[in-house]
Amino acid sequence: MAERRMIRRDIWQDDDFDRLSMPAKVLYFALIAHTDDEGCFRSDAKYWKRVAFYSQRFGVSKVEKMLDELRKESLIITGESQIGPAGYVVKSREMQTLDKRKAKPSQYYDFLVSQGITPKYGKPDQGNGSEGKAMEAKDGGHGLGFYTS
C-alpha cells in the first residue's frame, strides 16, 4: 500500500472538483491514496465507509451518494470486474509518475478493458517484466495500493 500519492495543485481550480461536497472531496483523496498502479480501486461503499469514514456517524448510503457525486462529475468510473466492484480514478495517470520497472498490473484488468481503458502494465498473470504477479493487498487482495519510491 502506498505511503505517498501525488495530487496536482490545480485540482483546487478544477470545476468538476469544485462542485463536490466536502465529504466527496475527502473520499476522492482517499480513492487516490488507495488506487493500484493503473488507477483502479475497490468500488464498494461499505468498504470505503470503513476506510475513509470509520469514525463518522453516517451510513453506507451517504458514501454511495459521494460515489455518485464523483461519477456525476466524471472523476471516477465504476462497474464490475471478475473479482467484484471496481472503479478507476479518471485523472490518475496525469497525477502519478511511476517507475515502470516496479509498477504492477491491476487485478481489475478486465474492468479497465471493458471500459475502453488500455492497461499500461499488462495483465496480472503476465506482469510487466519484473514479477508477473498482481499486487497483493492487505485488504483481502483487491489490489488497492501504489508502489512508493
Give the distance, in angstroms, between the CA of residue 14 and the centroid of all CA atoms in the same chain: 19
* CA–CA dist 60, 58 (Å, integer): 7
Find how far residue 18's CA is from the centre of its chain: 20
Centre a 10 Å sphere on the Cβ of residue 96 and count the other Cβ atoms it contains: 20
pLDDT of 115 strictly over 70:
yes
List, for residues 94-108, the tens digit of each pLDDT value.
888 787 888 889 999
Indicate if the pLDDT at residue 138 is higher than 80. no
